[in-house]
Chain A
Amino acid sequence: MDVNPYRLLDLLPAARNMMDYCQLQRGEHVAIFADTLIPPLVVQAVLAAVEERGCRPAIVTTQPAGLSWRQGAEPPRAYKAAMYASDVVIQLKSVEAQTFPRVQETAMIEHDIRMLRVPLGNSIEALTEEWALFPFEVMQLVTRKIYDQWTEGATTPGDVVKTIRVQADNGTDLTATYDPHYVIHTGFLFPKLMPGQWNQFCGATVGIELFKDANGTVVFDGLHGEEEYKLLPPAGSDVVHPLSEPVRWIFEDRHCRIEGGFEAELIRRLVAAGGAHADILAEIALGVNPKAPLNTMPTRRSGVTHYAVGSTTGRTPNPEKESAEVHTHGHLFKCNLWVDDEPCIVDGRLAVFDDPEVRKVAAKYGDPDKLFEEAPY
């Protein structure tokens, strides 16, 4: 976009909200990592917000990283050292998964970092929209409630297996079983972000990234998360929506067959290059933000579910892990989702939005009906 109609003041409310998401304490050292695709105005707004909290900011800019499931991306040494030295890292990214995964892991585990990831596409608008003002406290509680539902009854040690089922009118009906130890959250487990954790700005998700079994079909409304998708409409975003024709993943014993038009062909090519385990179900997840824009941030949107095949880098469950250098996504706007037959999404709406405890906390920030009302786009 050539014309930028925004001023710093337009971006500051969202930038301040970022500070709430990482809970900055006065005097902390904060590194803002902005790749070369992030508009400078956005970087300045974040810098100003960090400064307002009495922290010591430094901005670090490099070229964008590779996608996390492609191995071997290493940042320059200065980038690493800056990250390790910080108390808090804020990552402004054009594509969500474009990180240096090894460095990030070391930073959090060995160097006590708290991290906030802010995927923005390359648009300034993203920060002027309502989704970017969603209160941390509400998002944390919503996420925790869902996480508790998805892990309910699990113990350590213990080998409880739970069942997740997704059904939608478009032909989707997928049932999978999972070890709840591998349920994933993004830094929203506690009212406070702890060293070693990262969270996603206004974009909590809850998901599973390892399955014992998966059978059935999922039919997508859109795809996301690949650099190649930026060329497809909407241009410049890694989201592809709408699709020229539906893309279907048909699972049998965890492995899937991909059907659809030219978008499906793109996925097939990615998967074909990924080795023997590239077609295994590797993720079912949902978003929790009712205001997240469906076109550009579908995976953050409450009640939207997303799915991946391949595997997830960084952690291996056991020595026999099935590893694939692929983790490719599709998403479904509206479905019903059950965990062990308990409803989690009912006709596209998160059941937890009607939880009395959640509504009580939401009331601190305004009318809960308004806060949980789904944005129309």
Chain B
Amino acid sequence: MSEQTLMELLSTLVEQCAATDAGKQMIATHDQGIQFTLLDSDDLFYFEAKGGQAQVIAGEMPARSLDDGYEIKGDTAVFREWFSGQARMSDLIEHGRLFPVASHTTKRHIDYWLAQIIRMGNGLKIPKEVY
């Protein structure tokens, strides 16, 4: 079986997240476009959430204001690790493997939101509830 592309993987996660009430609610928290830029590949895709609907789209994101748009850079393998639930976003940033294109405070609420969507897409609980 051929491996899902990163874009397909993210699409699946977003769909799975949107399939639960808590996930839907989480997606509806912000409207935001997030460009994923691969440092080792020319593939381009972006995540778009608007009015509680989210999708993953191939290509370059149409330009928009800094409030509405965001970009994250990294190698394919790093994104794969994160999306498959094997690594946390915050660790990848800390280890200098994932590069949010924003100052260290500006998009942190978006980081949290995206990290949760991916976590929920993987069927993982928010760690607060583990205890």
State how many residues of chain A have any CB contact under 8 Å with chain B. 4
Among A76-84, A180-188, A354-362, the stretch in contact with B: A76-84
Residues of chain A within 8 A (CB-CB) of B128 are 77
Cα(A77)–Cα(B129), bound, Å: 10
Cα(A77)–Cα(B128), bound, Å: 8
Q: Chain B 97-131, CB within 8 Å of chain A: the 1/0 string?
A: 00000000000000000000000000000001001
Residues of chain B within 8 A (CB-CB) of A84 are 131
Residues of chain A within 8 A (CB-CB) of B131 are 77, 80-81, 84
Cα(A188)–Cα(B38), bound, Å: 59
Residues of chain B within 8 A (CB-CB) of A80 are 131
Cα(A84)–Cα(B131), bound, Å: 8
Closest to B129 in A: A77
Residues of chain B within 8 A (CB-CB) of A81 are 131
Closest to A107 in B: B131
Q: Chain B 58-73, CB within 8 Å of chain A: the 1/0 string?
A: 0000000000000000
Q: Chain A 67-85, CB within 8 Å of chain B: the 1/0 string?
A: 0000000000100110010
Cα(A191)–Cα(B128), bound, Å: 37
Closest to A111 in B: B131
**A145-190 CB contacts (< 8 Å) to partner B:** none
A78 to chain B, nearest CB (A): 10
Closest to A103 in B: B131
A245 to chain B, nearest CB (A): 49
Cα(A84)–Cα(B128), bound, Å: 13
Closest to A81 in B: B131
5 contacts between A and B (CB under 8 A): A77-B128, A77-B131, A80-B131, A81-B131, A84-B131
Q: Which 4 A-B pairs have the closest CB atoms?
A: A81-B131, A84-B131, A80-B131, A77-B128
